[in-house]
Amino acid sequence: MPCPVKFSGGIIHQLLLREVHHNGPSDDMWFLLGTHEVMFSKVELCLITGLRFGVVPDTSSYVSVDNGLHHRYFGGKDEILPFELRDVLRRGEFQQAYDSVKLCLIYMLNWILMGLDERVNIPVWQLWLVDDPVGFDVFR
């Protein structure tokens, strides 16, 4: 029977206390664990999370989908505030089957993966992007 893995902030803290500063690439992290130096880089992050690194797609070509999320939940307006997205998610009243998933993807993209400040508006192109599952998969 599988045992669920739980997050431990204490373990992360102890690991970060053992970070070794180095002169290599700035996006690599090295840790001294016992007598071993261990590296954590973008490669390991990709393996763990399933995310990819590479060229960011050109988002200027994305266009609004007729009756897409942008229009159904935000009236097609140009600036969408983070609290508006949270309000839509909290209400839990979705007009189409996968709207809740798409809106959660936008939330995760901005405040979990990209770590954006919650005072920053949501870029409209993201709403257009999640209406295209193939395009979103390429973006990730």
Question: What are the pLDDT digits (tens) for 36-54?
Answer: 999 998 888 888 877 777 7
Q: What is the spatial distance between Cα 86 and Cα 67, in angstroms, rounded to a whole number?
A: 20
Question: Is the pLDDT confidence value at 1 over 80?
Answer: no
Strands 36-40 and 29-33: antiparallel
Report pTM: 0.63
* Helix boundaries (H) for the chain: 9-17, 42-49, 69-74, 82-91, 99-108, 124-130, 133-139
Q: What is the spatial distance between Cα 86 and Cα 70, in angstroms, rounded to a whole number?
A: 14
Confidence (pLDDT) at 78 = 85
Q: What is the spatial distance between Cα 25 and Cα 50, in angstroms, rounded to a whole number?
A: 22
What phi, psi does 39 have (nearest 5°)? -105, 140
- Whether residue 63 contacts residue 128, with contact meaning beta carbons closer than 8 Å, is answered with yes
Confidence (pLDDT) at 56 = 66
The whole-number average pLDDT for the span 71-90 is: 91
Sequence-separated contacts (24+) of 7-11 with Cβ below 8 Å? none
